[in-house]
Chain A
Amino acid sequence: MMLERRHTDPTKDRDVIIRVRGVEVGFGERTILKGLDLDVYRGEILGFVGGSGQGKSVLTRAILGLVPKRAGTIEVLGQNLDDLSVEQRRQLERHWGVLFQQGALFSALTVKQNIQVPMREYLNLSDRLLDEIAMLKIEMVGLNPDAADKLPSELSGGMIKRAALARALALDPDIVFLDEPTSGLDPIGAGEFDDLIATLQRTLGLTVFMVTHDLDSLYSVCDRIAALGEGKILAEGPIETMLESDHPWLRSYFHGKRARAVMAGGAQG
């Protein structure tokens, strides 16, 4: 992994916001992550790629504490997750927001109420501010204000993603985890969503951890890419590093037919 960083690393002196060291996760007999190391730097958009079933979601869920790990340490915002008390853990959870693949909006609540759930839980806001901030988030993610009083079942796929992103941003988190944010969106919608993530990242100073398969997203918004395979990080670095790598999986991923099409499109544009 260190060998991959041949040229001087612009990220070297930057603040590490998530530090994963030697993490092992397995289910039953099967070990999925085998001593994985990964750093995520403050203010970057990290694209996380890997074949199906390689454990991309598992790592995300391990960082979020949704699956137990067998070994290794995970530090978020300089704090080792294993050392935290329940109260400290709650404090830490305010600093991240998660966009689940299917949105995971609470189906019984309207979009606005969904966004207000974490705010009601953690913050002491007046009703007026609660409404205004929720509406502001709705506008920031590019949803029409009409959507505020709709139930998730009345929204389209793209709107669900946006609403879920608004909920993830409800507490102004430092880190946002996005699980395949553009899956299920049409190319135009996916492109708009990429732009939205980039804009929000700039405006709110977010660190974005994005699990994705979308080559367009990797080319257009990701500052750095980490590729997962065989339970470890195969390579990490900007897109150029990925293209230079001669690991077979990375070669077929970044030099496949679909990747060439994206590259060609990028060159023309």
Chain B
Amino acid sequence: MIVAQSTLAHEPQATIERAEGQTTVRLSGPWTAPHAERVEAVAEAIASEVETYPLIFDMGGIERLDTLGAWTLNRTRHELSAKGKADIANASPEQATLMEETAYREFQGDQRPRHSRLVDFFVDVGRTVVDAGKDLVGGVGFLGELVSALVRVIVHPGRFRGTAVINQLEQIAYRGVPIIVLISFLVGCIVSQQGIFQLIKFGATPFVIDLIGILVLRELGVLLTSIMVAGRSGSAFTAEIGSMKMREEIDALRVMGLDPIEVLIVPRIMALVIGLPLLTFISSIAALVGGGLTTWIYGDISPDIFLTRLRAAVSLNTFLVGMIKAPFMALVIGIIATLEGLAVEGSAESLGRHVTSSVVKAIFMVIVLDGLFAMFFAAINY
């Protein structure tokens, strides 16, 4: 029944009549949710004004009653019951059922415990530390599983899934080339341009070539590639494996006697370990080309001189430092992505959360690992 404009003027009402021996509260109007404010106000007024008992709620005049109205009446009756009897009368059969169904009961309040902010803060920190520890243990455990799966594949070469590896290589390396070339080229340009602007003050512009050569080959190439791959392929792994987990496809593999790690994860991680160094190489070259072009335009250094100077500035180990790091980065990205994928639970929301955390953790770990390598190579004077 649509509440037309005219009935909006109707409001829930109550009149209190005191007769010998009992008080009658005559209720009228619509006692429904759209009039909630008025329903509550009238109920409160009744509770405060009634003085003599027993009390009768005369429901004969009520036009419409819904759960909200019935509940409010029952609550009022309950509040008054401490002082004396409060009954209902003249209720239609439907109203009586509704009144019975909505009989007053206590609801437990919010069950979640509340603490002070300080406690919450420490709880949060503690939980994060424990989670990080568990991640580490999980990661190491998973590395072990992965290595044993790899060994099994090596021992039984028949179980090696060449097609899957090639397919993944296409996804990770081949399709990743354009974007990685583009960003590396641009970063090469930017670094070299800024280098020129600073070094020109000392009249040492040609040293920008040393700067570019060493920076790109040792650090930038592998870092840019790893971050890009973590974003592109790490997230894709987590999403693929996570959605397979969600739809019980991983369990299906397991009951068919196939090892999900061997089938799904080994090919992906192998492709990463092969693909990431390749991409790193391409990225370094693109960045050097970008740097070379910029030194030509901004620093008036011709490509000939650039190449000669570059050859003098970098040695094989400069190049190798970058390349050695690449497979380790690939392993870290792969392990984090698959672990997050396997941690996905039933809902799509959980999938989204794990994809995000896979990318964030992978990028974080890539940078931490790069820092560790920097210290390591410095220590061994490489």
Flag if B68 contacts A172 (CB, 8 Å).
yes
User: CB of A136 within 8 A of chain B?
Assistant: yes
A239 interfacial contact with B, CB 8 Å: no
Chain A residue with the shortest CB-CB distance to B38: A124
CB distance from B36 to the nearest CB of A (A): 5
Contact (Cβ within 8 A) B97 A202: yes
Q: Tell me whether B347 is interfacial, beta carbon within 8 Å.
A: yes
Interface residues of A toward B: which range?
A: 35 or more
In contact, B107 and A132 (Cβ under 8 angstroms) = yes
Contact (Cβ within 8 A) B94 A140: no
A104 at the interface (CB under 8 A from B): no
Report A171 CB to chain B, min CB distance, Å: 6
Complex contacts, B9 vs chain A, CB 8 Å: none
- A172, B349: Cβ atoms under 8 Å? no
B105 pairs with A123, CB closer than 8 A: no
Is B118 among interface residues, defined by CB-CB distance under 8 A? no
Residues of the A chain whose Cβ atoms lie less than 8 Å from the Cβ of B51: none
Dominant SS at the A interface?
helix
Report if A77-B1 is in contact (Cβ < 8 Å); known contacts: A139-B105, A149-B110.
yes
Taking A107-B349, A133-B67 as contacts, is the C-beta distance between A171 and B101 under 8 angstroms? no
Question: Is A132 a contact of B75 with CB atoms below 8 Å?
Answer: yes
* Contacting pair B68 A149 (CB below 8 A): no
Q: Which residue of B lies closest to A128 (CB)?
A: B40
Contact partner of B33 among A123, A139, A146, A204, CB < 8 A?
A123
When chains A and B are docked, how far (Å) is the Cα of A92 from the Cα of B1?
A: 9
A131 adjacent to chain B (CB < 8 Å): yes
Tell me the bound Cα distance from A123 to B349 in angstroms.
Answer: 30
- Binary interface profile of B, 34-67, with partner A (CB < 8 Å = 1, else 0)? 1011001000000000000000000000000011
Is residue B350 contacting chain A, with contact meaning CB distance below 8 A?
yes
- Contact residues in B for A85 (Cβ distance below 8 Å): none
B2 touching A132, Cβ below 8 Å: no
B71 at the interface (CB under 8 A from A): yes
Residue of B with least CB distance to A140:
B101
> Does B379 belong to the interface (CB within 8 Å)?
no
Q: Is A79's CB under 8 angstroms from B2's CB?
A: yes
Minimal Cβ-Cβ distance residue in B for A138? B107
B7 touches A (CB below 8 Å): no
Task: Please give, as numbers and ranges, the residues of chain A lying within 8 Å of B32 by CB-CB distance.
Answer: 172
Residues of A within 8 A of B108 (CB): 145
Determine whether the beta carbon of B110 is less than 8 Å from that of A136.
Answer: no
Cα(A204)–Cα(B107), bound, Å: 21
Please measure, in the bound complex, the distance between the C-alpha atom of A129 and the C-alpha atom of B68, giving whole angstroms.
Answer: 8
Query: What is the bound-complex CA distance between A37 and B281, given in angstroms?
Result: 69
User: Considering only CB atoms, which chain B residue lies closest to A130 in the complex?
Assistant: B36
Known: A132-B71, A133-B68, A139-B105. A126 touches B40 (CB 8 A): yes
Known: A132-B71, A140-B101. 11 other contacts (CB 8 A): A78-B2, A95-B1, A95-B2, A107-B349, A125-B68, A129-B72, A132-B75, A136-B71, A140-B102, A171-B33, A204-B98
Q: Which residues of B contact A (CB under 8 A)?
A: 1-3, 32-34, 36-37, 40, 66-68, 71-72, 75, 94, 97-98, 101-102, 105, 107-108, 110-112, 345-350
Closest 7 CB pairs of A and B: A172-B66, A135-B107, A153-B347, A203-B101, A125-B36, A107-B349, A203-B97
* Cβ contacts A to B, 24 pairs, < 8 Å: A77-B2, A78-B2, A94-B34, A95-B1, A108-B349, A119-B33, A123-B33, A123-B36, A124-B37, A125-B37, A125-B68, A126-B36, A129-B36, A135-B107, A146-B111, A149-B110, A149-B111, A153-B345, A153-B346, A153-B350, A169-B67, A203-B97, A203-B101, A205-B94
